[in-house]
Amino acid sequence: MKSKEFTLESPQGPVSLSAFRGKWVVLYFYPKDDTPGCTIEAEEFTKLAKAFEERNAVTLGVSRDSCESHMQFIGKYSLNVRLLSDPDCVVQKEYGAWGKKILYGKPMMGTLRSTFLIDPKGEIAREWKLVKPEGHAQEVLDILKTMQ
């Protein structure tokens, strides 16, 4: 399945998915900067950043948070992943990463923690829904290794 093109703001300026043609892209959607699960996920992708780079892969994290929030999150934890701002959930909705979930026993709409592995031609090679943060980055890297 073809990935859906987008351009979102980041602390470093606009980022378009098409800019990464020829590379593998790990596109992950997460609920909120500086929360326990999201921090674990971002730190694990950061720890494996070099291994992803060696596999010609870039990691992009997407949430509703502002670029200012992303800058604080990156600085606080010395993160090495590109974080993109999708305040209106446009890209999250296009990828099915926005929907109904239960938080503290109450139904609500929100980001569904999801990851998409996009191949160098722009095709979705693999997707993960309802991701558990701990160990997920390694799982994605392991799958990437089998696809190259």
Active-site annotation, residues: 38
Measured CA to CA in angstroms, residue 28 lies from 11, 94, 104, 107, 140 at distances of 17, 13, 23, 23, 10
Residue 122 one-letter amino acid = G
Whole-number Å distance between alpha carbons of 64 and 60: 13
In contact, 27 and 60? CB cutoff 8 Å: yes
CA distance 44 to 97: 20
Pairwise CA distance, residues 81 & 83, whole Å: 6
